[in-house]
Each structure stands twice: as structure tokens, then as C-alpha cells.
């Protein structure tokens, strides 16, 4: 081989391509590197902007997530306020009907918010959904059955908000002769 080699030719051309000077190749590489660096900086800035925007949106959602539910609860609050004002002058039947109407408004607000009551009377005890307050022997119900609901539980779109507090049945013990 000779010291001087033939110019490199792409396969699809017949004309020789002149070899570029090393300084020119370096300048082209530096220019491409500068372009890539600028593109990287733009992408990093855009990513930072997206993160900040998402953080602001999450904060706004967190602050105002209950707004719809709160609007649904306002009539319930109004109803309770009216009941307190009428308490001294209204008869018992009127107060009871007002109480039932207020409870219906609250249930409607709960439904719209995806809140459902958990009333497990007569069902098997489930520690995932129920909190046993105490046990009571029972000959009528199988063991580990909810005999009584002390406090209803609630679910939010299927997720437990508060477990139902319950009294659970046990096997009756032997009678003590006294």
C-alpha cells in the first residue's frame, strides 16, 4: 500500500468524495454538539415547566376537590339551621319530618359524592370492613356474625372511609349453675 490512499466513496456514487480537513471535521462536530446541548437545555426547561405546572394543578385539585361535595352539603346545613330555629315553636311531628328531610338531603349528597353506607347487620364479620367493639353469645346466629351495628361505616367509591363498629356473635358458653 502507498502512503496516500484513495478517497472514500459511498457505494451509490461513482465520483470520489474529498476527505475533509481535520479542523473542519472538528468544527462540524462542535457545531452539532452545541445544537444538541441547546436542544437538551430546551427539553430540560420544558420538563421543569411541566413539573411545575403539574404541581400547581395538583395543588388546585387538592384545595378544591371537595367543592362539589361542599355545595351539596350546604342545603343540609341550611336545613339543620332551620330545625334549630324552629325547635322551640314546632311540634314533635314537624321536627321529625324536618329531621327525615334533612337526612334525605344528606343521603343524596353522599350518593352524588360516591359515599355509601356500610350497614352489616346479620352479615359475617369482616375485619377489613368492620371493627368489633365487643362480642355477645348468641344461640340464634352463627359465630362471627354481626349482631348489632353500633356505628355505621362508610365507603367512598368502594374504598373504606370508616369501618362499621359492630357487636359480633360468639358461641354461647355453658350455663352456669349458681
pLDDT in tens, 150-167: 999 999 999 999 999 999
**Residue-level pLDDT at 3:** 53
Q: List phi, psi (to 5°) of 106.
A: -65, -45
**Residue-level pLDDT at 94:** 87
Domain assignments of the chain as residue spans, ordered by start:
115-172
Q: pLDDT band for position 178 (50/70/90)? A: very low
**Residue-level pLDDT at 9:** 55
* Class of domain 115-172 as given by CATH: mainly beta
Residues 167 and 147 sit within 8 Å (Cβ to Cβ): yes
Residues 6+ apart with CB under 8 A from 98: 79, 82, 83, 86, 90
37-81 pLDDT, tens digit each:
999 999 999 999 999 999 999 998 888 888 888 898 999 999 888
In whole angstroms, give the CA distance from residue 174 to residue 110. 45
Residues 79 and 102 sit within 8 Å (Cβ to Cβ): yes
C-alpha cell of 21?
Answer: 480537513
Amino acid at each position: 500500500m502507498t502512503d496516500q490512499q484513495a478517497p472514500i466513496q459511498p457505494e451509490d456514487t461513482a465520483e470520489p468524495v474529498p476527505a475533509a480537513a481535520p479542523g473542519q471535521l472538528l468544527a462540524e462536530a462542535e457545531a452539532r454538539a452545541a445544537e444538541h446541548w441547546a436542544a437538551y437545555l430546551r427539553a430540560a426547561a420544558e420538563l421543569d415547566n411541566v413539573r411545575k405546572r403539574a404541581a400547581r394543578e395538583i395543588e388546585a385539585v387538592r384545595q378544591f376537590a371537595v367543592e362539589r361535595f361542599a355545595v351539596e352539603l350546604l342545603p343540609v346545613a341550611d336545613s339543620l339551621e332551620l330545625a334549630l330555629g324552629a325547635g322551640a315553636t314546632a311540634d314533635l311531628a314537624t321536627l321529625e319530618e324536618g329531621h327525615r328531610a334533612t337526612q334525605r338531603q344528606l343521603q343524596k349528597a353522599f350518593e352524588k359524592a360516591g359515599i355509601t353506607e356500610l350497614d352489616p347487620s346479620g352479615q359475617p364479620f369482616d375485619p377489613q370492613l368492620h371493627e368489633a367493639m365487643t362480642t355477645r353469645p348468641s344461640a340464634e346466629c352463627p359465630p362471627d356474625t354481626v349482631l348489632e351495628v353500633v356505628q355505621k361505616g362508610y365507603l367512598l367509591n368502594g374504598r373504606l372511609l370508616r369501618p362499621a363498629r359492630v357487636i359480633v356473635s360468639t358461641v354461647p358458653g355453658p350455663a352456669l349453675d349458681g
